[in-house]
């Protein structure tokens, strides 16, 4: 059978990795796909020194690839929203299948892109868009297809996890570690996407859609980054038996779906609490299977290429199949998507870590306990540290039982209004993940 012809748009970290993996493993890939997968054209403005592209035709214009009649599958690895969207829609219009690693594009414009792809009978595959080399989309969409998924929670930004790990283990500064992540090719072009949780929210949006059968709704995800975390809270969390991880959580409740990204205290003995460096991990809980855990490199040249190439093999295998009987893009048949609403963060339920900076006076703890009990908030553990020499304040740290966030918002407002409480109350959500 004739080889499938692929055009790679973007020869950066992931594009370069994809080219190299396709070349190096060509023989095994052909044995799996049933035919060769050949890179017939590359669009890039500059060569990648890590790739020996040999005689492969190279153009500086991505639309040369999209309009090339010989190309069967366009691999979109340029990133961003605007040009990437134009590229993907044009490729679909031209009847080409698309493989992309672009989580921002899928999370924000996926509903439109998939509708167009269905109309044209082509596949848009996006395994590499979430958690780099971990085949978690395939696992949820296909491997867990018999389940009612209850919740999922994941460390889905390698850069953020790398920064938190280096800060905790080596006492390095935030900026120093971020620079290293950028040099290693983990960080987004705009690294605020990593540290402010936007990248993780893109990925969570995609995972929630395929887990619960809902349209992509990035604009409704609650997003909080890691820039406000302090070493003090990292250390207090450890003393209470927890680790702080930047987590994406999607949970189905009767009232709606929780879709939230934020720093989270996790019991230190959970496997996922021990996922360090650039590694990612996603826990998925289904009614039949129980809890499952998927772990691996969440970013980087060849780990992400591994997912891109797996998608290419999938598309190559599906080329001759009936477009109406393929695995649906978002796991559920498009006319069977649910309109179960996404909950605002104030209606989400979690346990909470609170750190209150109080004056060292009698009765402060009693006032704190009263404010919480009046709002039905049950305290699980409480720790009062010695007076801090520099300001004479006493850090009061407590962990609550699970409660709707609105009640914690009210309690924090009341605590901050106390004469004996100084500064903002620090609030970090706590998940047991059991
Ligand atoms: N910037 C992303 C991360 C790359 O650090 O996880 C992979 O999506």
Shortest-distance atom of ligand 1 to CA 280: 6
Query: Cα separations (Å) of 115 from 92, 110, 119, 220, 225?
Result: 10, 8, 6, 20, 32
pLDDT mean over 194-199: 96
159 CA distance to ligand 1 centroid (A)?
Answer: 6
Among protein residues, the one with the nearest Cα to ligand 1's atom 7 is 299
Q: How confident is the model at residue 167 (pLDDT cuts 50, 70, 90)?
A: confident
Shortest-distance atom of ligand 1 to CA 156: 6
Q: Return the higher-pLDDT residue of 142 and 300.
A: 142
For the four alpha carbons of 191, 193, 197 and 200, in that order, the dihedral sign comes to: negative
133 CA distance to ligand 1 centroid (A)?
Answer: 11
**The CATH number, out of the four listed (3.20.10.10, 2.30.30.170, 3.30.70.260, 2.40.170.20), of the domain defined by the range 348-430:** 3.30.70.260
Q: How confident is the model at residue 181 (pLDDT cuts 50, 70, 90)?
A: confident
pLDDT mean over 396-410: 97
Q: Is 299 in the pocket of ligand 1 (CB under 6 A)?
A: yes
Q: What is the pLDDT of residue 320?
A: 92
pLDDT mean over 32-40: 98
Q: Is 16 in the pocket of ligand 1 (CB under 6 A)?
A: no
188 CA distance to ligand 1 centroid (A)?
Answer: 6
Most informative mutation of 126, 199, 275, 277 for ligand 1 (most atoms within 8 A of CB): 199
Q: Is 298 in the pocket of ligand 1 (CB under 6 A)?
A: yes
**Is 16 annotated to bind ligand?**
yes
Most informative mutation of 161, 196, 281, 298 for ligand 1 (most atoms within 8 A of CB): 298
Kindly state the tokens that stand for 31: 């044995």
* Helix and strand numbers, DSSP H then E, in the chain: 14, 17
Shortest-distance atom of ligand 1 to CA 157: 6
270 CA distance to ligand 1 centroid (A)?
Answer: 23
Whether the per-residue pLDDT at 388 is higher than 80: the answer is no
Shortest-distance atom of ligand 1 to CA 298: 6
- Residue in 105, 182, 156 with CA at minimum distance from that of residue 190: 182
Weakest-pLDDT range from 31-45, 168-182, 355-369: 168-182
Report the alpha-carbon distance of residue 101 to residue 16 in Å, rounded.
13
Give residue for tokens 């987590």. Answer: 247
Parse the chain into domains and list their residue ranges. Answer: 4-133+301-319, 136-297, 348-430
Active-site hit among 203, 359, 385, 424: 203
Report the alpha-carbon distance of residue 397 to residue 381 in Å, rounded.
8
Q: How many CB atoms lie within 10 A of CB 50?
A: 12
Most informative mutation of 299, 303, 305, 308 for ligand 1 (most atoms within 8 A of CB): 299
Q: Tell me if 259 sits within 8 A of 217, measured CB to CB.
A: yes
Query: Is the CATH number of domain 136-297 3.40.30.10?
Result: no
Q: What is the pLDDT of residue 309?
A: 98
Q: pLDDT digit string (tens) for 251-305?
A: 999 999 999 999 999 999 999 999 999 999 999 999 999 999 999 999 999 999 9
Q: Return the higher-pLDDT residue of 385 and 222.
A: 222
Dihedrals φ, ψ of 200, to 5°? -65, -35
Q: Is 233 in the pocket of ligand 1 (CB under 6 A)?
A: no
Q: Is 220 a catalytic residue?
A: no
Report the alpha-carbon distance of residue 179 to residue 238 in Å, rounded.
26
Q: Is 132 in the pocket of ligand 1 (CB under 6 A)?
A: yes
289 CA distance to ligand 1 centroid (A)?
Answer: 28
Q: What percent of the chain has pLDDT over 70?
A: 100
- Residue in 216, 210, 281 with CA at minimum distance from that of residue 243: 281
**Is 13 annotated to bind ligand?**
yes
Q: What percent of the chain has pLDDT over 90?
A: 90
Whether the per-residue pLDDT at 175 is higher than 90: the answer is no
132 CA distance to ligand 1 centroid (A)?
Answer: 7
For the chain, state the CA radius of gyration.
24
Kindly state the tokens that stand for 298: 């969440």
Q: What is the pLDDT of residue 269?
A: 95
Give residue for tokens 């167009």. Answer: 116
Q: pLDDT digit string (tens) for 67-104?
A: 999 999 999 999 999 999 999 999 999 999 999 999 99
Q: pLDDT digit string (tens) for 117-138?
A: 999 999 999 999 999 999 999 9
Angle, vertex CA 159, rays to CA 156 and CA 163, nearest 5: 115
Which residue blocks in 54-183 are alpha helix, DSSP H?
Answer: 62-66, 82-93, 103-120, 136-138, 158-170, 174-183
Q: Is 187 in the pocket of ligand 1 (CB under 6 A)?
A: yes
Query: Cα separations (Å) of 376 from 73, 270, 398?
Result: 57, 28, 15
Report the alpha-carbon distance of residue 325 to residue 338 in Å, rounded.
20
Domains 4-133+301-319 and 348-430 share a fold: no
Q: Is 100 in the pocket of ligand 1 (CB under 6 A)?
A: no
Most informative mutation of 187, 204, 207 for ligand 1 (most atoms within 8 A of CB): 187
Kindly state the tokens that stand for 53: 């592209």
Report the alpha-carbon distance of residue 264 to residue 278 in Å, rounded.
17
Q: How many CB atoms lie within 10 A of CB 27?
A: 8
pTM of the model: 0.96
Kindly state the tokens that stand for 340: 């179960």
Shortest-distance atom of ligand 1 to CA 129: 8
Q: Is 76 in the pocket of ligand 1 (CB under 6 A)?
A: no
**Is 188 annotated to bind ligand?**
yes
Domain topology for 4-133+301-319: Rossmann fold (3.40.50)
Mean pLDDT of the chain: 96
299 CA distance to ligand 1 centroid (A)?
Answer: 5
């Amino acid at each position: 059978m004739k080889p499938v012809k692929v055009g790679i748009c973007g020869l950066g970290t992931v594009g370069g990795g994809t080219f190299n993996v396709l070349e190096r493993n060509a023989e095994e890939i052909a044995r799996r796909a049933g035919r060769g997968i050949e890179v017939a054209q590359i669009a890039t403005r500059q060569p990648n020194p890590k790739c020996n592209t040999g005689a492969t035709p190279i153009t500086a214009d991505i639309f040369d690839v999209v309009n090339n009649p010989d190309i069967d599958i366009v691999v979109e690895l340029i990133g961003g929203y605007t040009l990437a969207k134009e590229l993907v829609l044009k490729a679909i219009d031209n009847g080409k299948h698309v493989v992309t690693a672009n989580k921002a594009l899928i999370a924000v414009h996926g509903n439109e892109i998939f509708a167009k792809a269905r109309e044209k009978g082509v596949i848009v595959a996006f395994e590499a868009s979430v958690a780099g080399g971990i085949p978690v989309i395939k696992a949820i969409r296909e491997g867990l297809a018999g389940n009612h998924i209850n919740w999922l929670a994941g460390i889905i930004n390698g850069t953020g996890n790398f920064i938190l790990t280096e800060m905790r283990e080596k006492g390095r500064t935030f900026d120093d570690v971020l620079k290293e992540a950028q040099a290693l090719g983990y960080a987004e072009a705009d690294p605020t996407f990593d540290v402010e949780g936007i990248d993780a929210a893109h990925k969570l949006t995609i995972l929630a859609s395929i887990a619960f059968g809902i349209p992509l709704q990035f604009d409704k995800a609650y997003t909080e980054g890691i820039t406000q975390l302090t070493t003090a809270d990292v250390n207090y969390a450890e003393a209470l038996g927890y680790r702080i991880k930047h987590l994406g959580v999607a949970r189905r409740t009767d009232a709606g779906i929780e879709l939230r990204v934020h720093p989270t205290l996790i019991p230190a003995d959970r496997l996922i609490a021990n996922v360090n460096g650039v590694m990612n991990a996603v826990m998925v809980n289904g009614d039949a299977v129980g809890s499952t855990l998927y772990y691996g490199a969440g970013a980087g040249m060849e780990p992400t290429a591994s997912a891109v190439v797996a998608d290419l093999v999938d598309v190559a295998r599906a080329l001759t199949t009936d477009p109406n009987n393929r695995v649906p893009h978002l796991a559920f048949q498009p006319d069977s998507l649910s309109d179960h609403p996404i909950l605002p963060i104030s209606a989400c339920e979690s346990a909470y870590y609170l750190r209150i900076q109080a004056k060292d006076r009698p009765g402060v703890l009693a006032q704190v306990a009263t404010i919480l009990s009046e709002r039905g908030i049950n305290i699980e553990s409480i720790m009062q540290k010695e007076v801090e020499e520099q300001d004479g304040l006493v850090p009061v740290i407590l962990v609550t039982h699970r409660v709707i966030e609105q009640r914690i918002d009210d309690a924090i407002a009341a605590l901050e209004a106390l004469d004996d409480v100084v500064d903002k109350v620090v609030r970090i959500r706590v998940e047991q993940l059991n």
